[in-house]
Amino acid sequence: MSKNKHPLDQCHNAWQHTDQQQKWIKQYRLPLLRVTTFVPRIMANSEVAEKIYSIAKLQVHDTLSQSNYKVIESDSFEDKDGKGLLMAISGASSTQLKRAMIKLENNHPLGPLFNFDVLNRDGKMVSRRSSEMEPRKCIICDHAASYCAASHIHSEESLEREVLQLLGRHLVSFSTKETEIA
């Protein structure tokens, strides 16, 4: 007999399935941060997704060190949606950590493609709403990203095109800056 899954269970799969985060929550009693990318499914595990992921990781480490938040332990993982990094963080409350990560999502040119999940000391997910922040915007239009994803307003191809444009613009401005410095 197959088990009937509640639809919401699927959204929280990533959090429910790893024993490691349960272990770290028990062991450290610290907020956990999970770094992944937010790209259309057809791009998962592509070179482009990997590039975005490595930029996200660099930015996260910068943000953490600027705020004097310490990484106690970190471990990378890989699943069908791509690569990810799980970290236990000290020196910040889960709300402070979530706010710092939302700021990065909002301010970095590739922020719309970064995905940062924060778990509090009790192992509960900290949402944008509970941190009194606006929901994440769609990369194409002004709706909330969750709305566009649920209603499939944009084709995967148009999302892919937008992702490539965002990355292309960022890499061009990045190399221009480096040339100016040199």
**Which residue ranges make up the site for Zn ion (CB under 5 A)?**
138, 140-141, 143, 148
Whichever of 128 and 143 has its CB closer to Zn ion, that residue is 143
Whichever of 71 and 140 has its CB closer to Zn ion, that residue is 140
Tell me the C-alpha distance between 161 and 167, whole Å: 10
Tell me the C-alpha distance between 135 and 149, whole Å: 13
Whichever of 155 and 176 has its CB closer to Zn ion, that residue is 155
- From start to end of 14-152, where are the E strands? 32-37, 70-79, 82-90, 114-119, 125-126
CB of 166 to Zn ion, least distance (A): 14
CA dihedral sign of residues 148, 58, 33, 128: negative
Dmax over Cα atoms in the chain, in whole Å? Answer: 66
CA distances from 74 to 20, 21, 86, 126 (A): 11, 11, 5, 19
Whichever of 147 and 174 has its CB closer to Zn ion, that residue is 147
> Which residue minimizes CB distance to Zn ion?
138
CB of 148 to Zn ion, least distance (A): 3
Token pair recorded at residue 160: 């892919």
Whichever of 54 and 165 has its CB closer to Zn ion, that residue is 165
CB of 49 to Zn ion, least distance (A): 20
CB of 43 to Zn ion, least distance (A): 17
CB of 80 to Zn ion, least distance (A): 24
Helix axis angle, 47-66 relative to 94-107, nearest 10°?
130
Q: Which amino acid is at 93?
A: S
